[in-house]
Amino acid sequence: MPTPPLDLSPLQAQLRAFAQVRNWQPHHTPRNLLLALVGEVGELAEILQWRSDAELAALAQDNPAEWEHLGEELADVQIYLARLADVLGVDMAAAVADKLDKNARKYPEPQS
Amino acid sequence: MPTPPLDLSPLQAQLRAFAQVRNWQPHHTPRNLLLALVGEVGELAEILQWRSDAELAALAQDNPAEWEHLGEELADVQIYLARLADVLGVDMAAAVADKLDKNARKYPEPQS
Amino acid sequence: MPTPPLDLSPLQAQLRAFAQVRNWQPHHTPRNLLLALVGEVGELAEILQWRSDAELAALAQDNPAEWEHLGEELADVQIYLARLADVLGVDMAAAVADKLDKNARKYPEPQS
Amino acid sequence: MPTPPLDLSPLQAQLRAFAQVRNWQPHHTPRNLLLALVGEVGELAEILQWRSDAELAALAQDNPAEWEHLGEELADVQIYLARLADVLGVDMAAAVADKLDKNARKYPEPQS
């Protein structure tokens, strides 16, 4: 079996410890975390909503502060996604590997 | 500097190659990928919308098919998030590490 | 005071009666309804995700089935939004009128 | 035929005029407006994410400022939804009436 292409467990361990020491676990229920993720996806959408793909491609040069903001919102989505999967008990490495296999069967390589 | 807690690059390399061989790059613009991510977050929400957190905790036992579906939707969100960051050119390992640092400063450990 | 530009109350009364006769009120909590709305926004995003604005402008002619599907998803978002506001007890006519006033002050008409 | 339970056209006319006088129509494309709607749904989610349904039921009394904020975010979702449907050319009164008919057939009234 090939190495799974993703390992969220170090991030999840760090987020779990961070929540634990702050007594946040009672708030970190699946539904709360999903709503928090939706909130972060919304902040991401706010960055992209009035910008064309060309403007986004030049954002790092044209607007470094907004570029940093973009990275922060992507990170927030990743953090809540990793935490949600951890709290649900879903093995993301396995789930992603399974989905990639399914996609490879669903969309076979075009024959040249 | 400690090891970053996340490495999306193997997944991103695999997704990039998958898109390339199928000539999907013209469709994989930031805004298209964000809308696709919103679609997958919506499918995740559909699984959680009428279920309590207690029902979700028992889902693996009570409804293995829906449990597998849950893993698939989490994987889809992860896949589009990784692809979106790659297309935008955002270094997710750095962005997540930065955000974790910011969170640690914003929410200091409570003193016992 | 001018007529409020929106009256959701006939729709909300109909949705309330529909839920009541089916004993759905226990499920129609604010958080459940918001997740349901997120699910419908996701389905809307799936229709728009790979289509350009030009393709969307021609959708009614080019793909009547998908056009009807688009109307259905917009309706679903509207239905859950009206139901959510009703369950929360928010007066949408007043909230929308207030927001329009606020927007008019925030973005004054350009002087010709 | 019964009166349609919803009439968005006065709101849509007002929003159209508001956009026109500010030369916003070039920005009010379907995909931009959907992303803006996603942004507002995210702000709504942020209000509900750490609150139980019981806390939400008491919000008007316990936290009038946040209650007003809640109304504002619901209004924003409504405004972008009405504008999106208008720009797409979807007749929302008809789409909602159709969907209510479909729901009535899909979920027949329980026999007492």
User: Is the per-residue pLDDT at B2 higher than 70?
Assistant: no
pLDDT of residue D2: 61
pLDDT of residue C2: 61
pLDDT of residue A4: 79
Whether C60 maps to a domain, the answer reads yes
Whether D69 maps to a domain, the answer reads yes
Whether the model clears a pTM of 0.95, i.e. scores above it, the answer is yes
Distance CA C76, CA C41 (A): 9
Asked if D35 is an interface residue toward chain B (Cβ–Cβ < 8 A), one would say yes
Contact C27 B50 (CB under 8 A): yes
Containing domain of residue A39, as a range? 25-95
Whether B110 maps to a domain, the answer reads no
Residues D92, C82: contact at Cβ < 8 Å?
no
Using one digit for the tens of pLDDT, what is the confidence trace for D5-51?
899 999 999 999 999 999 999 999 999 999 999 999 999 999 999 99
Using one digit for the tens of pLDDT, what is the confidence trace for D42-75?
999 999 999 999 999 999 999 999 999 999 999 9
Whether B108 maps to a domain, the answer reads no
Whether D20 maps to a domain, the answer reads no
Using one digit for the tens of pLDDT, what is the confidence trace for B30-68?
999 999 999 999 999 999 999 999 999 999 999 999 999
Asked if B55 is an interface residue toward chain C (Cβ–Cβ < 8 A), one would say no
Whether C6 maps to a domain, the answer reads no
Asked if B50 is an interface residue toward chain C (Cβ–Cβ < 8 A), one would say yes
CATH number, domain containing residue D46: 1.10.287.1080
**How many domains, chain D?**
1
DSSP symbols for D72-112: HHHHHHHHHHHHHHHHHT--HHHHHHHHHHHHHHHSPPPP-
Distance CA D95, CA B104 (A): 48
Amino acid, single-letter form, for residue D110: P
Distance CA C112, CA A3 (A): 64
pLDDT of residue D103: 97
Closest partner residue to C50 (CB to CB) among B27, B40, B42 is B27
Task: Name all chains with 3 or more CB-CB pairs below 8 Å to chain C.
Answer: A, B, D
- Show residues of chain A in contact with C31, CB under 8 Å: 31, 35
Whether A35 maps to a domain, the answer reads yes
Using one digit for the tens of pLDDT, what is the confidence trace for B11-36?
999 999 999 999 999 999 999 999 99
Higher per-residue confidence, C3 vs C82: C82
Whether A110 maps to a domain, the answer reads no
Residues A49, D35: contact at Cβ < 8 Å?
yes
DSSP symbols for B57-99: HTHHHH-HHHHHHHHHHHHHHHHHHHHHHHHHT--HHHHHHHH
Distance CA A28, CA A25 (A): 5
Closest partner residue to B42 (CB to CB) among C32, C45, C50 is C45
Amino acid, single-letter form, for residue D16: R
Residue C17: band (very low, low, confident or very high) from pLDDT cuts 50, 70, 90 = very high
Residue D4: band (very low, low, confident or very high) from pLDDT cuts 50, 70, 90 = confident
Contact A18 B85 (CB under 8 A): no
